[in-house]
Amino acid sequence: METRAARTVTFAVVGPIARDDLPGLSARICALLARSRPDIAVCRVVDVGPDAVTVEALARLQLAAQRYGCKVLLRDASAELLDLVAFMGLTEVLSG
């Protein structure tokens, strides 16, 4: 039996992220996921602040990815952002 390689897509979320940016960011990523149907989405986080809006944006992206059968992996996240994700109890949801 032959196994297929996981399909991966990579994208970047560039900060700063404002609350008003969340719907548009979510729509763009959902469109990308719908087109590419990846198993894994690598999300580079660039110049994003370690704040609740950023964590909400990343959690929304993970939720959207789950709808497409995909898992989001964070790359280049700052230690401060990963600490906040852990503090908020979302380490299992948003893995680095």
pLDDT score recorded for residue 13 = 93
- Beta-carbon contacts of 81 under 8 Å, excluding residues fewer than 6 positions away, are 45, 48, 49, 50, 54, 55
Element (H, E) at 31: helix 22-36
Q: Residue 96: pLDDT above 90? A: no
pLDDT score recorded for residue 95 = 72
Reported CATH class of domain 8-87 = alpha beta
pLDDT score recorded for residue 2 = 65
Q: What is the mean pLDDT of the chain?
A: 91
In this structure, what DSSP letter does residue 46 have?
Answer: E
Domain assignments of the chain as residue spans, ordered by start: 8-87
pLDDT score recorded for residue 44 = 96
User: What type of residue is 91?
Assistant: T
Rounded to two decimals, the pTM is 0.86
Report the distance separating Cα 35 and Cα 74, nearest Å: 20
